[in-house]
Structure 1
């Protein structure tokens, strides 16, 4: 009898507390609702543009055919469900943050990390579109290293923070030598050099395909905008892809915070923006020249 009375008393207390904290239940329902995923994914599609559906009320921002923006939007993807593979052919430890793997090889040397992957994508575009004279990047020291000079045989002589260039190789404009050049850039450039070198985008309303969310540093991180939609109010949403450390497949990331629009993102300058397994706490944006 005493046990029954105790149980009834506890139930009464629970009912009273539950009633008093009714807003908590409402908040819980909101959280549960936000976890319900909206299906923006076409699993049988093999490009960024066709893999991800446009959210209701939005339309894609148009860009000229042949532009870097259209190049990114139509980048080829591996089959849906493909894993992120590290440079040494091992599985990346976490497979929960992506919805697509880009068809870009990962060198076995381990050099093509987060900034390097985006440098390669930009450089490949310039190469494929006969704009090779525009391929060039600053080292972290601030010294500019162009593909043209490298192809002509000039190589850096690095002494601490001092860099000079000397012609020490024969002229070689081959694609294989181009990848040798990129390996050099991977070694001496990174998020810090890109942040210092590239133009800053101070108004998030001006962001476009190809712009990058960046934290310059050692370590830092960087991701690239690869698709863009806009609604009648002028509000934009973006898709993002990233490389990572260790060197691994470039992948199209989920939005793990707002699953109702995932994989689309809202981007704001100076905001806290979690992207896959990295959080940008003071978001800054840059653009390739």
Structure 2
């Protein structure tokens, strides 16, 4: 009888272990499946955002004028397929399964150029190359506006808590090297919170376009940018997204981990939960550059 009881007990324990393991196994399989991308949507030998990702069946790309910010982003250069996300210190980021492309943007070794900073850089470089340098400027988190033109003329901020004043402290220097020193200053004193407070809000998701941003303003916060856009005959839109991150790292084109058949395209709605690679926006809000 004792042997029978022991045998029954062993069977019970084994059954409990099996039951507990099954959900874990299924969960792992489901997660791995989410990492997959439909082969027809991906061109691994292509080196721009537009050519790397095909349109889903029934959709076509929304047209934008050549030379526009939207056209600039859609045709942004990518590194070869398989390139890894690299941290500012040269190490590999621990999560390499959430992206399908690395944008050809250097990562400064100073640890700056985090999530908001990367998008500030992309926007500023567009204004630079299109000779719209007068439009380059951003608010500090304190609310004070800092323009590239004033910085190039030699004005520098003196910061005392939330009090900021600008003084002529340097010689005029309009060079590209000085432009990146200006951006480093912006990276230090601006971020998702200042962008959220400064930039126009987008009221309706149907109005979203390339260059608009999904944002959670705060410390910490996060922000990603729309970099391509397609539409079907019903007027339904899908979008591609890229992001920087914290710690500062390679700017990368993200997968859609919620829909492997659609990935890397996203359906975007306002005031909803939107998981993006390694971050989840719990109450989605959108802003756009002026």
Alpha-carbon distance in structure 1 between the residues aligned to 2:250 and 2:202:
27
SS of residue paired to 1:224: strand
Matched with 2:189 is: 188
Deviations 1:130-169 (A, max 9, x none): 0000000000000000000000000000001100000000
TM-score between both structures, scaled by the size of structure 1: 0.88
TM-score between both structures, scaled by the size of structure 2: 0.88
Deviations 1:11-48 (A, max 9, x none): xxxxxxxxxxxxxxxxx9xx79x857422110000000
Alpha-carbon distance in structure 1 between the residues aligned to 2:188 and 2:285:
24
Deviations 1:64-106 (A, max 9, x none): 0000000000000000000000111000011010000000101
Change (3 A) 1:133 1:37: closer
Aligned 8 A contact 2:37 2:264 in 1: no
Task: Describe how 1:22-171 pairs up with structure 2 within 5 A.
Answer: 37-39=37-39, 40-171=41-172
Alpha-carbon distance in structure 2 between the residues aligned to 1:203 and 1:260:
26
Alpha-carbon distance in structure 2 between the residues aligned to 1:256 and 1:37:
9
Alpha-carbon distance in structure 1 between the residues aligned to 2:37 and 2:193:
36
Alpha-carbon distance in structure 2 between the residues aligned to 1:265 and 1:206:
15
Matched with 1:20 is: none
Structure 1's consecutive aligned runs of 4 or more residues displaced over 6 angstroms after TM superposition are: none
Matched with 1:173 is: 174
Matched with 2:232 is: 231
Which runs of no fewer than 5 residues in structure 2 stay unpaired? 5-26
Alpha-carbon distance in structure 2 between the residues aligned to 1:95 and 1:161:
39
The count of residues paired between Structure 1 and Structure 2 equals 266
- Per the TM alignment, residue 202 of structure 1 is displaced from its structure 2 partner at its CA by 1.1
Alpha-carbon distance in structure 1 between the residues aligned to 2:216 and 2:110:
24
